[in-house]
Structure formats: C-alpha cells, structure tokens
Amino acid sequence: MKSEADRRRLNLSAGAASVTVALTLVVLKAWALAQTQALSIAATLADSGLDLLVSASGLAAIAYAARPPDEDHAFGHGSAEDLAALGQALFLIGAAGAIGAVAVYRLAAGGETQLHAEGRGVIVLVISIGLTLSLVAWQRHVARRTGNRVVQADSLHYVGDLVPNLGAIAALWASATYGVSGVDSVVALLAAGVLAVGAVRIGRGAWDALMDRRADPALIAEIERAAAAHPGIEGCHDLRSRMAGGRVFVDFHVEIDGSLPLAEAHEIAAALKRRLLADHPQADILIHMDPAGDPASGASGAGAGSGARIGAGQRDMPVSAARTGRPGS
C-alpha cells in the first residue's frame, strides 16, 4: 500500500460496494419472492436485508476510522474497525445458529411446499450470486492490501450467503423437476457451520486488537532482524506492539554509540524507521535512542543488544524517564 490515503480510499470503496450490492439484492429478491412464493427465497431476502444493515454500519465504522488523529485520539480512530468487526462476528454467529436451527426443524418436520415460477427465481438467484462473487473478490483484494477487519468480516458474511443462495437454487430446481422439497435445509446446515467457524476467527482477531494483543509474531520477527542488521545499531530492546484496525503500532529502543553527535545518531534511527516503513507501510513506528553500554538503558553492554534481545512483541513495563526517546525518530 503506497499511503494511508490509499488505504482509506480502498476501505471506503469496499464498504460502499457492499452497501450498493446489498441494496440491489434486496430489490431483486423482493421481486423474486412475489413471483415464486418460495420460502427459500424469503429466507435469502431476509438475509440480504440484514446484510444491508450490517454493511451500512460497517461503512460508517470505516468512515469514522478513516478520520485522522486529533487531540483526543492521538493514535487515530482505528479501533472503531475492531469494534464493528466484533459486532459483525457476534451477528454472524447468531445468524449461523438461527440458520442451523431452522434447517434442523425443517428436516425434522418434513413438510412439502408448492412453489411457483421457479425459473424466474433461479434467474434472480444466479444474478445475486454473480454480484456477490464480484463483491467478495473486491473485498478480499482490499483486505489483502489494507488488513481491514471490517472488510474481512463483511466478505466472510457474503461468502456465507453464497451457500444459501445455491441451496435455494437447488430447492427451486428440485421442486420444478421432481417435486422434492427440503434440499436447501441440508445445504443450510453446512453453510451455518462454515459461517460460524469464520465468524469466530474474525471475532478473535478483533477482540485481540481491542485488548492490545501483540502484533503478528512474523511481523515482529522481521522488524527484529532489520533492526539488528541496520548499520550503526549496536543493540535494541524493550520492543512493544499492539494493533488497532488495520494499523500496527510498534515502539522499541535502539543502542547507538554514545560518542556520536546527536544529529548523526538521530539520522541512524531515522534511516531505520524509513526502512521499516517502506517494508511495512501499515505500521506506526516509534524508535527511542539510548547510548550503547549505558546501564540506565537496560542493556548490559554494546554487544548485548542483539536482535535476539528484543522480546518478540512482549508487553514490557513502561520505560523509565531516564531513557531518552525522540518521538520523531
């Protein structure tokens, strides 16, 4: 991702596309329900109506999170994305439970329902699937580029919608061809399971971010290696990290030759920061400078601060006031 502005535009485009597709699907399925009187289409219509509400709330969260930092929110508003993603995950778990319960009830009841105009219903559902696939493809592209959890959760929701739509098509086809009903109930059970598993994954990630869990260990390991190998850095320690929305906040101390002029030492740390940001544009990095070998810095010597000394994402106690740190480094 080239810049924060690019991330915001991509996230907003995914949210706007989601609302547009959901509104289109509501209109199409309402017409199909009037034509076919199919309960399976009624279920997908209700689901699309909920999609519209969830997508609209997700877009509002993305727009709020895109606001720049201000005096009261120095680290930005990215946690709004995690809060919305957690809410969506809870909704998805509830929806999965409801779908599964209704499917089991229908299988146990085993009633027959007379459907009408199955062909028109199938056409609408095929169009719905095409629109949903296009939306999911764009959402996943955006999620890969930005790491936005709201977009990830919304994408999972629409993937979960694909199976019920396929089930509804199968039910309409079986009704029109063989007079068999209840086919969609079996497919709905499978869809509910897939939806629940994905919702738990999204919810866990959002919860971890809200609770200031450390960033991905693989990302931290890359930062450790880059810091340890950077010219002029004799050691590093006290690495801490946390996540908020699609952002990763990292701060750590580097040990630099204390005899160097301040401007030269600052340039070493600044060069390291530029390198890290080029490799990890989603990160917000703060580097504190300590003189190498200073006991107050927490290092035991010039060679003690190797990359292995950085606690990979550990939440250490706040550093003492005696340690020097430049927010602009």
Beta-bridge mates of residue 290: 255
Going by their DSSP bridges, the two strands 247-256 and 283-291 should be labelled as parallel
**Phi and psi at residue 238, to the nearest 5°:** 55, 45
Q: Look at residue 116 in the predicted model and tell me its pLDDT.
A: 53
Angle value at C-alpha 93, between 91 and 95, nearest 5 degrees: 70
**303: number of CA atoms within 13 Å, CB side?**
0
Q: 36 Cβ partners below 8 Å, 6+ apart?
A: 115, 116, 117, 118, 120, 121, 172
Q: Which helix (H) or strand (E) holds 137?
A: helix 118-146
Residue 287: exposed, middle, or buried by beta-carbon count in 10 A (0-12, 13-18, 19+)?
buried
Residue 149, SS3?
Answer: helix
Angle value at C-alpha 129, between 125 and 134, nearest 5 degrees: 150
Q: Look at residue 308 in the predicted model and tell me its pLDDT.
A: 32
E strand residue ranges, 235-319: 235-244, 247-256, 283-291
What does 51-111 look like in DSSP terms, one character per residue?
A: HHHHHHHHHHHHHHHTSPP-SS-TT-STHHHHHHHHHHHHHHHHHHHHHHHHHHHHHHH--
Question: Running along the chain, 329 residues long, what does each successive block of 10 average in pLDDT?
Answer: 70 87 88 72 69 75 69 68 77 79 77 57 84 90 79 78 74 69 66 75 79 80 87 86 78 88 90 86 84 63 36 35 37
The distance between the two most distant Cα atoms of the chain, rounded to a whole number of Å, is 87
Which residue, chain included where needed, has tokens 């703060």? Answer: 286
Q: 268 Cβ partners below 8 Å, 6+ apart?
A: 230, 231, 232, 233, 254, 256, 260
Q: Which of 275, 316, 290 is nearest to 236 (CA)?
A: 290
**Phi and psi at residue 248, to the nearest 5°:** -125, 125
Domains, the chain, ordered by start: 4-210 (1.20.1510.10), 217-309 (3.30.70.1350)
